[in-house]
Amino acid sequence: MKAWRHYLLVVVFFGACAGMAVRVVYLNVRDSDFLQGQGNARSIRTEPMPAFRGVIYDRHGEPLAVSTPVMSIWTDPSFVTLDVSAVEQLATILKLDPITLQMELRSDARREFYYLKRRATWQEYEDVRALGLDGVYFQREYRRYYPAGDTTAHVVGLTGVDDQGLEGVELTFNDQLRGQYGRKVVLKDRRGQIIKDLEYLEAPRFGKDLELSIDLRLQFIAHRELQAAIAARQASSGSIVMADARTGEILAMVNEPSYNPNDFSRSLGHGVRNQAITDTYEPGSTIKPFTVLAALASGRWEAGSMIPTAPGYYRVGSLLVQDPLNRGTISLNTALQKSSQVAIAKVALDLDPRAVYDVLTRIGIGEYMGVGLPGEAAGTLNDRGLNNPVVRTTLAYGYGLAISPLHLTQGYLAFASGGLRMPLTILKQPGPPRAERVIEESLAREVVEMMESVTAREGTAPGARVPGYRVSGKTGTSRKVGAQGYDETRHVALFAGLAPASDPRFVMVVVINEPKGEEVGGGAVSGPVFGQVAGRALRLLGVRPDAERAI
């Protein structure tokens, strides 16, 4: 090679190097901000930091709802196209249909975000990550877990895939529980994996914990006994509400059918409805103690006052009031014990037209309670037609009004508390409740003593008794309204009571909707459920027996 060619190549080489060096210096000095921005746009992202949702506890600190970390898997169809092999591998791991997944990815090719699976299990996340697929990304989230499952489902409720409350306490107190997401700046690789946290912009604020009034032990007992009763009676549904007689705190609230809030794969259906607060019924004879209370308060009646009921029926206008048999002349106490329609009708017609209605409104029956659960029904109770003897008569034995099991619990709470009206609540209270006297204490105690005869051997609910304890309560059996009026084949069986009668610890209402079989009355159907639950609850709470024959 001639010398000039050699020098020419050297000059060209070093000239090119110098040009490149000048260009690099130029870009770093002149276009540094632009290039840095372009690089950051491809690798630096602002990511949300999920907030831990508050824990829901029962009154003894047992967790009823907790949040666990999960991973969601997603892709960007507008940026990357997954081949058939990748789609099949993903579908196998995530338990999806590969054909459907392939079609959805193709139809959504312009979308920048597509969830392959929300809240994947940790094993699914590990298996997908091991595939090393470009364009498949992961997002950390939290999933709600409910340790008690269907036992507390209607009270605690559930959250959706976005961790927002949908039912129960989760919905009512969603703002308090959910917290607030944080933000951070991260460096990602080409697969979308976070390599490094660069900067924390805002720390997440975790949700506040919530302590309910529910006693999980009593909740389990009530739910188990209700399930057994519904199955044995082939009933369509049922509810139990138990409240602390001293504070108004709801200790147990169960419904059947229920649902499992941990299982999103099944349709939740009608089991989601909290029937203890949403469904209203005509309460039937469970209203009679309030009629008796109105009679005692009038000063014209006493527990021993005699009432002629012969010949076992009594006509009030167009209404024929009947007892199952002719009881002759009985006392007011016996009328309550035997649940005599004729006797209660005569008592009601002897009172001021508004007497029974005023008692019911004073204790809060039919009003909106505001216990802290969504879907609460206000009930139906009004004073229209009280000048009509038929209206007053039917109201006296529990027809012509519609209330929920929650309302009935509120009513009997007034008896158990010695005449006080206190708010029912689903939250554990830090101190004594706000109480208002609505009944004279002596009258409330007298009605409680009279109701004790209902659970005696001669009463309508001997099955509600608890060995060693005095139990007061009242049965109720109401017919349901059908297309042609009251249906003789469809009933609601109720029992409302309190225990122990000497110093009430709790109030409980049991409702069995549409029981099948020969026995459909509240005493035969709901009374034994009350007895089973109350017996276990009294022993669990350490309440001393108060019956004379108790050892």
pLDDT in tens, 420-445: 999 999 999 998 888 999 999 999 99
pLDDT band for 312, please (50, 70, 90 cuts).
very high
Nearest to 286 by CA among 170, 440, 397, 425: 397
The whole-number pLDDT of residue 22 equals: 75
- Average pLDDT, whole number, for the chain? 88
Quick one: average pLDDT of 493-506? 96
pLDDT band for 551, please (50, 70, 90 cuts).
very low
The whole-number pLDDT of residue 505 equals: 96
- Specify burial of residue 290 (Cβ count, 10 A radius: 0-12, 13-18, 19+): buried
User: How distant, in Å, are the alpha carbons of 94, 166, 203, 372 from that of 266?
Assistant: 17, 16, 36, 27
Cβ within 8 Å of residue 384, ≥6 positions away: 391
Rounded CA-CA distance 183/66 in Å is: 23
Cβ atoms of 56 and 65 closer than 8 Å: yes
Asked if residue 271 has pLDDT above 80, the reply is no
Asked if residue 109 has pLDDT above 70, the reply is no
146-189 tens-digit pLDDT: 999 999 999 999 988 788 899 999 999 999 998 777 777 777 66
Asked if residue 75 has pLDDT above 90, the reply is no
Quick one: average pLDDT of 394-419? 94
Rounded CA-CA distance 404/407 in Å is: 5
Asked if residue 504 has pLDDT above 50, the reply is yes
Find the length of the chain.
551
The whole-number pLDDT of residue 475 equals: 96
Percentage of the chain beyond pLDDT 70 is: 91
The whole-number pLDDT of residue 24 equals: 72
Rounded CA-CA distance 424/432 in Å is: 12
The whole-number pLDDT of residue 184 equals: 74
Rounded CA-CA distance 356/295 in Å is: 8
The amino acid at residue 143 is: R
Q: What are phi and psi of 191, to 5 degrees?
A: -90, 0
Rounded CA-CA distance 105/181 in Å is: 29
Rounded CA-CA distance 144/262 in Å is: 8
Angle at 45 between CA 44 and CA 49, to 5 degrees: 135
Both structure tokens of 226: 């209700």
More confident: 403 or 184: 403
The whole-number pLDDT of residue 431 equals: 86
346-399 tens-digit pLDDT: 999 999 999 999 999 999 888 888 898 999 998 899 888 899 999 999 999 999
Rounded CA-CA distance 38/176 in Å is: 41
Cβ within 8 Å of residue 199, ≥6 positions away: 184, 185
How do strand 210-211 and strand 56-57 relate by DSSP bridges? parallel
Nearest to 289 by CA among 471, 448, 406: 448
38-68 tens-digit pLDDT: 565 556 667 777 778 899 999 999 999 998 8
Classify residue 456 by its DSSP letter: S
Rounded CA-CA distance 20/441 in Å is: 99
468-480 tens-digit pLDDT: 999 999 999 999 8
Nearest to 478 by CA among 432, 431, 526, 446: 526
The whole-number pLDDT of residue 550 equals: 41
Alpha-carbon torsion 498, 501, 504, 505, what sign? negative
The whole-number pLDDT of residue 31 equals: 60
Strand ranges for 434-484 from DSSP E? 436-437, 472-482
**Structural domains for the chain:** 47-176+185-211 (3.90.1310.10), 216-259+275-540 (3.40.710.10)
Both structure tokens of 232: 């044995």
pLDDT band for 310, please (50, 70, 90 cuts).
very high
Rounded CA-CA distance 427/147 in Å is: 19
Q: Which residues carry out catalysis?
A: 285
Asked if residue 411 has pLDDT above 50, the reply is yes
Rounded CA-CA distance 182/394 in Å is: 60
User: How distant, in Å, are the alpha carbons of 321, 385, 388, 395, 487 from that of 318?
Assistant: 10, 15, 11, 15, 19
- Specify burial of residue 28 (Cβ count, 10 A radius: 0-12, 13-18, 19+): exposed
Strand ranges for 44-135 from DSSP E? 44-49, 56-57, 63-75, 114-120
Rounded CA-CA distance 366/380 in Å is: 6
Cβ atoms of 318 and 529 closer than 8 Å: no
Quick one: average pLDDT of 216-227? 97
The whole-number pLDDT of residue 88 equals: 86
User: How distant, in Å, are the alpha carbons of 247, 330, 413 from that of 539?
Assistant: 20, 36, 21
CA dihedral 466→472→475→476, nearest 10 degrees, is -140
Cβ within 8 Å of residue 252, ≥6 positions away: 214, 215, 218, 219, 221, 222, 240, 241, 242
Both structure tokens of 61: 């600190």
Cβ atoms of 53 and 159 closer than 8 Å: yes
Q: Which bin fits 199, alpha (ψ -120 to 50), beta or left (φ > 0)?
A: beta
What is the enclosing helix (H) or strand (E) of 172? helix 168-172
Alpha-carbon torsion 502, 295, 520, 480, what sign? negative
Rounded CA-CA distance 192/527 in Å is: 63
User: How distant, in Å, are the alpha carbons of 67, 95, 149, 179, 214 from that of 55?
Assistant: 7, 30, 15, 11, 14
Rounded CA-CA distance 329/343 in Å is: 9
pTM of the full predicted structure?
A: 0.85
Quick one: average pLDDT of 291-313? 94
pLDDT band for 497, please (50, 70, 90 cuts).
very high
